[in-house]
Chain A
């Protein structure tokens, strides 16, 4: 039973990581590519790490919770690295695809 839960969590995690990378390759411009890795990959990693936590808790004596630390760290840092990347993309004036609405909202930075 527990093996089944671990397997399902592992498969969900792997699928989300894969979706994040597919988004990275498939999307037409940088701003749309950013959505895959910042969101799907982070949730996939959280799911994988929860699976690892359950796995090691059943395998050894006592619970193993330190995998939570990595998922917490990834959840905290993913938006910040995404913010830094989109800031540098705006600074370099990367092109967004033509049908993007509201590009006049971007102000020039110094």
Chain B
């Protein structure tokens, strides 16, 4: 896990990229003037705001992150069709349940991303991160963390935990190297 970038003038590369594209999308144009303005904003805003923000881990493998994003988008589409079928089917067949997934990730930022992907993908919604703490920033304490998720139709608890750990958590570990 790395917190500092190589260049001093670029404290958060992903935020800069996001700001660049959001500015161009908001104006709905790719003219030269707007590109220059977008570059100025994308470098200026992180420089001004980074002293206020806590340091977040950087994406170390951008290619893998892009592949993971595509996988998640594909999963969102297939999972939504499944959830639509479950919702339209009879209520009596559904067996909802709460499942505790043990986490290998330690930092709060990757845990947030994992919780969001779990909420969007299969018939699951993430509910809490245990142990309850105001902020999980320090990574030197080695307490085991759990993610509590609610499942719409729980068939096999262990298989679900394995799917989440292999399909969504392992790539995140690789991307952030932690």
Q: Using a CB–CB distance below 8 Å, which chain A residues touch chain B?
A: 16, 19, 22-23, 26-29, 31-32, 34-36, 38-40, 42-43, 64-66, 68-69, 75-76, 78-80, 82-83, 86-87, 90, 96-97, 99-103, 105-107, 109-110
Contact = CB atoms under 8 A, between A and B. Distances in A.
Contacts of A105: 98-100, 148
Interface of B: 22, 25-28, 76-77, 79-80, 83-84, 87-88, 91, 94-100, 115-117, 119-120, 123, 125-128, 130, 132, 148, 150, 152, 154, 157
B132 A110 contact: yes
Tell me whether chain A's interface is mostly helix, strand or loop, or mixed.
Answer: helix
Contact of B80 (A16, A69, A83): A16
Nearest to A43: B80
Contacts, number: 117
Contacts of B26: 66, 69
Contacts of A103: 98
A102 B87 CA distance: 21
A99 B91 CA distance: 12
A24 to B, nearest CB: 9
A35 B98 contact: no
Contacts of B98: 100-103, 105-106
- Closest 4 interchain pairs by CB? A101-B97, A79-B119, A23-B87, A79-B116
Nearest to B132: A109
Contact of B28 (A29, A64, A80, A110): A64
B78 to A, nearest CB: 11
Contacts of B125: 31, 34-35, 38, 82-83, 86
Nearest to B148: A105
Contacts of B25: 65-66, 68-69
